Structure 1
Amino acid sequence: MTDLRKRTLHLPDGEADKRRTTLGLLPTGRRYRRAFEPGCSLGLMTRLLAERCDEVVAWDVSETAVSRARERCRDLTGVEVCRGAVPASWPDGRFDLVVLSEIGYFLQEEELARTLRLTVDALVEDGIVLLCHWRHPVDGWALDGEDVNAVFASSPSLRVEGTHEADDFVAIMLSRPGAGAP
């Protein structure tokens, strides 16, 4: 890690830096046809995803968050913000990018396993899964970010392509290898 990147991790707006760092794991110059972002919250990551994606499907369980995300993304084409919760439901179609940021530890173990299956099934060949989770234990929840990342990283259907570890979060990029991949 360069000195510049280390310094960047300690900027006052740590959430903005976390989003930039997480998206920085994606291959440079690659454009995505269709992305899914469950747990989009206020749409901050959604806006950044829209810069690299033709279409973004963003969900949140909170109607307040959905309203704010819609307002934040109203000027963007190709962004659909809806109320929804994984793994109880999942959008139709295939995705070449799925972003799970700060939501995995709110799931029970069996829900996380189902979310993993749904994610893998919805990915096109060479599709990308991007995870970002808090590193510390989350009070009242069975899972923490390390658990969530480990479940996805241990999937035989996905390959870890890159990680970024900061003091408070870990971001990990995984791919679904295409035909003929080792």
Structure 2
Amino acid sequence: MSRSQKEDYKKWIDESFLPERTLALTLNFRQRNKNGERLRQEIAEETLRRFKHALRRKVFGSRKASRLTDEYNLNFVAAYEGKASREDGTALHCHALLEVPSGQSVEAWQALCAEQWAKLEWADPKNYRFDVCWSYGFSTYVLKNRTKDDWEESIDWETFHLPPSSTAAAPYRNR
């Protein structure tokens, strides 16, 4: 991906979130479950999908959330960092941006996110953060190159959702 395309993505992401109505998430995963099974990338991806779907059910109700339409979705961008094998010394974890739905206070949304995250088998119930994002530019941190082999492949496209871009050059990925 070219530098200009990456900048278009960042601009699109920044334009899609309101700083004081956005949570900046750091989600850590358990490295093993209670049966001794080791974390794999696929397990982390499924855990993230379950987390987002649980939040959608809480906001929109089960029936509407199951429709999987844009109308009943949350703006969400997540990127993985590290490896399940820890071969680069960094444990697999995820950074994300998540909108605070209208009608929810930021504090109530933070509490709900923490509650739903802690319920998941592979979620680390003690090592996570749901901080209020106070400025644009957190997308730069989420999408940093430092610990990613491939910036574009680090994004979780299954959970990715943003409104259509006002930036004509920004691509919209449907995977």
- Whether TM exceeds 0.5 here: the answer is no
Tell me the TM-score normalised to structure 2 length.
0.28
Higher RCO (CA 8 Å, separation ≥ 6 residues): 2
Which protein has the bigger helix share? Answer: 2
Which protein has the bigger strand share? Answer: 1
